[in-house]
């Protein structure tokens, strides 16, 4: 037992719980905690330029590697409110991060002290637990409970608010007697799994929907093994992408209104049974519940009891950790296979695979300004199999999900439900801090890139190199596309004549912000690409610059101003906008939509349900 400040005990607990990296911004009300960090010197600290960015760095750090918990730190008042967006994003996607804020002295609470705000109440709706610790002796217990809650059941974020006098209060604490609390994870019973297997066996066209909960549970190997035993096609959600490799014979694309594949939607519409594991039936995945569920039976497995039945009532709901459920599925399915009790699914798999090979979208466009589809085609050709993509929202993310290839878990790091602009850049820095040797490619539209662009300086200062692909159409592209329904294009253009952009081959007249100049001004390197002939060399040059300087490198692609990316209001009626490839013409109308001519595309009207 030793006498020490409460914050010194807190840092010892952080070490014992496995924290090795923190992201934050110091300030008067949190400086005692920073003094404890400095005294120990055991936890790396990365200084953000904006406190919201620190919370997204913590998210990226957690999402990058199983077992990680990202830590973000800020002072009192606006630091906490700035981090609310990161807490919301983490809560929405079941990501554990710990947010520590400073606070005014206890005697000044509720007295309108400088930068004193009730962050506990503000953050409660977007955390698993939020607490202002009012006694120094409670600090160790608060941190112990925080880690227990973050890891138990459905993972999520916690905020601990520390008044400055509580931080400095002296307590008796013995780190040798400290033990992390046991993590609670519910597990399915054999009887439940046997019932689910009976429903699976009774179907003729089953599918497995693999959600992000499988990745959170580190259960991807079990997913692939189970799918192979029963011979059932797998549809990953956006958050589950990478749980099964894109080129696996049972991976049959994503389903949805936006981040989906034509063949994924078409095959799903042929299914009669769906086993959902670790997913939440997000509306961008399902479209209307009526269309999504019609003619199908559902089993839903989730670690959170209140998640089952939240969107629609399944035919069977099972509360379980995804990995535990899959391990039991493997056991039961293996026994059934040995007894010859599993149906032969080869014809159904072959039918889905035929669609996968034929129902494609066109990517090879040679025009200038560039079409975004060509950018993703080139990325697939250049980047290695283990590349980790980081992205948030917008037409860039939607098209990226439609065209890129992902082969491993945690190689698609995406904030799924919240989708805050500006998330990509700091999240990529957090991923790099967690994975120093991984190839990392961030993907942004110009507006996402501009939101927290100052964080490039963090990458330069702390030597966090990664490649940032910016597809620049100088538009709020997704919002512009949404505004078609209101027959307007209002306040969504970022274009202007930048008086500082000169003439010459590298000029971008009318595109506004010079991202290359800004990136270089923040200590990074940047390349601009305007022609398809420049792709391969630009990627090679970027790789060389990263290796030489160990800083983020930006590649900006100048796109045509308007490109409509495939999306719709129902999974069986996605508007393709562009001509689509189909090596087997008989498949073009399987999801109710076909290629459109230029006149139809320009008016955004739906085509007929037959034709070529």
Whether residue 399 contacts residue 444, with contact meaning beta carbons closer than 8 Å, is answered with no
**Gap between the Cα atoms of 67 and 70, Å rounded:** 10
Last-in-domain residue among 294, 324, 358: 358
Residue 374 and residue 349 share a domain: no
Is the pLDDT at 551 greater than 50, yes or no? yes
Dihedral (Cα; 260, 249, 276, 128), 10-degree rounding? -70
Higher pLDDT, 111 or 230: 230
Helix %, strand %, coil % for the chain, to 5?
40, 15, 40
Flag whether 390 is in a domain.
yes
Flag whether 106 is in a domain.
yes
Flag whether 563 is in a domain.
no
Residue 386 and residue 264 share a domain: no
Residue 476 and residue 389 share a domain: yes
pLDDT of residue 110: 82
- Which residues are known catalytic residues? 25, 51, 421, 476, 479
Whether residue 78 contacts residue 55, with contact meaning beta carbons closer than 8 Å, is answered with no
Residue 129 and residue 35 share a domain: yes
**Burial class of residue 16, CB neighbours in 10 A (0-12, 13-18, 19+):** middle
Ranking 90-104, 309-323, 351-365 by mean pLDDT, the lowest is: 351-365
275 strand-pairing partners: 208, 299
Residue 160 and residue 13 share a domain: yes
Residue 250 and residue 203 share a domain: yes
Flag whether 611 is in a domain.
no
- The full length of the chain comes to 612
Residue 585 and residue 554 share a domain: no
Tokens of 117: 């705000």
pLDDT of residue 482: 84
Residue 351 and residue 406 share a domain: no
Instruction: Give me the number of domains the chain comprises.
Output: 4
Higher pLDDT, 483 or 5: 5
**Gap between the Cα atoms of 386 and 409, Å rounded:** 10
Flag whether 570 is in a domain.
no
Local structure of residue 566 (DSSP, 8 states):
P
Domain containing 354 equals 190-358
**Burial class of residue 215, CB neighbours in 10 A (0-12, 13-18, 19+):** buried
What pLDDT digit, counting tens, does each position of 48-73 carry? 999 999 999 999 999 999 999 999 99
Residues 6+ apart with CB under 8 A from 512: 474, 494, 495, 496, 498
Three-class SS state of 527? strand
Q: What is the CATH number of the domain that holds 324?
A: 3.40.50.1220
CA nearest to 284, candidates 432, 415, 142, 444: 415
Is the pLDDT at 591 greater than 60, yes or no? no
Angle among Cα 78, 81, 84 to the nearest 5 degrees reads: 155
What are the Cα distances from residue 552, in Å, to 44, 130, 186, 221, 374? 19, 35, 41, 32, 23
Residue 255 and residue 168 share a domain: no
Last-in-domain residue among 358, 382, 401: 358
**Gap between the Cα atoms of 244 and 38, Å rounded:** 42
What pLDDT digit, counting tens, does each position of 511-531 carry? 889 999 999 999 999 999 999
Last-in-domain residue among 305, 337, 358: 358
Residue 463 and residue 367 share a domain: yes
Residue 108 and residue 29 share a domain: yes
Mean pLDDT over 482-489 rounds to 86
Flag whether 317 is in a domain.
yes
Is the pLDDT at 603 greater than 50, yes or no? no
pLDDT of residue 565: 87
What pLDDT digit, counting tens, does each position of 34-43 carry? 999 999 999 9
Band of pLDDT at residue 559, cut at 50, 70 and 90: very high
Q: What is the CATH number of the domain that holds 89?
A: 3.40.50.970
Flag whether 564 is in a domain.
no
Band of pLDDT at residue 501, cut at 50, 70 and 90: confident
Flag whether 121 is in a domain.
yes
What pLDDT digit, counting tens, does each position of 413-438 carry? 999 888 899 999 999 999 999 999 99
**Gap between the Cα atoms of 547 and 423, Å rounded:** 25
Residue 371 and residue 326 share a domain: no
């Amino acid at each position: 037992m030793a006498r020490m400040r409460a914050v010194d005990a807190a840092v010892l607990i952080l070490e014992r719980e496995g924290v090795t990296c923190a992201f934050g911004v110091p300030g008067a009300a949190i400086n005692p905690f920073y003094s404890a960090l400095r005294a120990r010197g055991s936890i790396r600290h990365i200084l953000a330029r904006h406190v919201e960015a620190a919370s997204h760095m913590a998210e990226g750090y957690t999402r990058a590697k199983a077992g990680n918990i990202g830590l973000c730190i800020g002072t009192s008042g606006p630091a906490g409110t700035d981090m609310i967006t990161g807490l919301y994003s983490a809560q929405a996607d079941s990501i554990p991060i710990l947010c520590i804020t400073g606070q005014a002295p206890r005697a000044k609470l509720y007295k309108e002290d400088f930068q004193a705000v009730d962050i506990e109440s503000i953050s409660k709706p977007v955390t698993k637990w939020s607490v202002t610790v009012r006694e120094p002796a409670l600090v160790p217990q608060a941190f112990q409970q925080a880690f227990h809650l973050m890891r138990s059941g459905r993972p999520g974020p916690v905020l601990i608010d520390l008044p400055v006098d509580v931080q400095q209060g002296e307590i008796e604490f013995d780190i040798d007697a400290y033990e992390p609390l046991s993590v609670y994870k519910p597990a399915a019973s054999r009887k439940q799994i046997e019932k689910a297997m009976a429903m699976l066996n009774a179907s003729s066209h089953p599918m497995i929907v693999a959600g992000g909960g499988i990745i959170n549970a580190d259960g991807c190997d079990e997913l692939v093994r189970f799918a192979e035993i029963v011979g059932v096609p797998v549809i990953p959600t956006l958050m589950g992408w990478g749980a099964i490799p894109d080129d696996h014979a049972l991976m049959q694309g994503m389903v949805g209104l936006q981040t989906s594949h034509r063949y994924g939607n078409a095959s799903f519409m042929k299914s009669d049974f769906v086993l959902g594991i670790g997913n939440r039936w997000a509306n961008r995945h399902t479209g209307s519940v009526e269309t999504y569920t019609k003619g199908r039976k559902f089993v839903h497995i989730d670690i959170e009891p209140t998640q089952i039945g939240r969107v629609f009532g399944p035919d069977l709901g099972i509360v379980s950790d995804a990995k535990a459920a899959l391990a039991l599925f493997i056991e039961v399915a293996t026994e059934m296979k040995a007894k010859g009790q599993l149906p032969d699914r080869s014809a159904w798999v072959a039918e889905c695979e035929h669609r996968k090979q034929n129902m494609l979208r066109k990517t090879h466009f040679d025009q200038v300004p560039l079409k975004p589809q060509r950018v993703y085609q080139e990325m697939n050709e250049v980047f290695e199999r283990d590349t980790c993509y980081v992205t948030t929202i917008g037409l860039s993310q939607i098209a990226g999900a439609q065209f890129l290839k992902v082969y491993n878990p945690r190689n698609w790091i995406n904030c799924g439900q919240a989708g805050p602009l500006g998330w990509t850049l700091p999240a990529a820095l957090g991923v790099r801090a967690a994975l120093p040797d991984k190839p990392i490619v961030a993907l942004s539209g110009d507006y996402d890139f501009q939101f927290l662009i100052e964080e490039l300086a963090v990458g330069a200062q702390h030597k966090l190199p990664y490649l940032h692909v910016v597809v620049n159409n100088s538009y709020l592209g997704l919002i512009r596309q949404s505004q078609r329904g209101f027959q307007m294009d209002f306040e969504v253009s970022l274009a202007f004549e930048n008086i500082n952009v000169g003439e010459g081959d590298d000029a971008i007249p009318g595109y506004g912000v010079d991202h290359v100049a800004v990136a270089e001004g923040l200590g990074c390197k940047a390349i601009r690409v305007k022609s398809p002939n420049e792709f391969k060399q630009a990627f090679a040059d970027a790789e060389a610059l990263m290796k030489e300087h160990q800083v983020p490198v930006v590649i900006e692609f100048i796109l045509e101003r308007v490109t409509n990316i495939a999306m719709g209001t129902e999974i069986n009626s996605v508007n393709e906008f562009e001509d689509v490839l189909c090596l087997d013409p008989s498949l073009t109308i399987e999801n109710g939509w076909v290629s459109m001519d230029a006149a139809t595309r320009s008016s955004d009207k739906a085509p007929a349900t037959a034709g070529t």
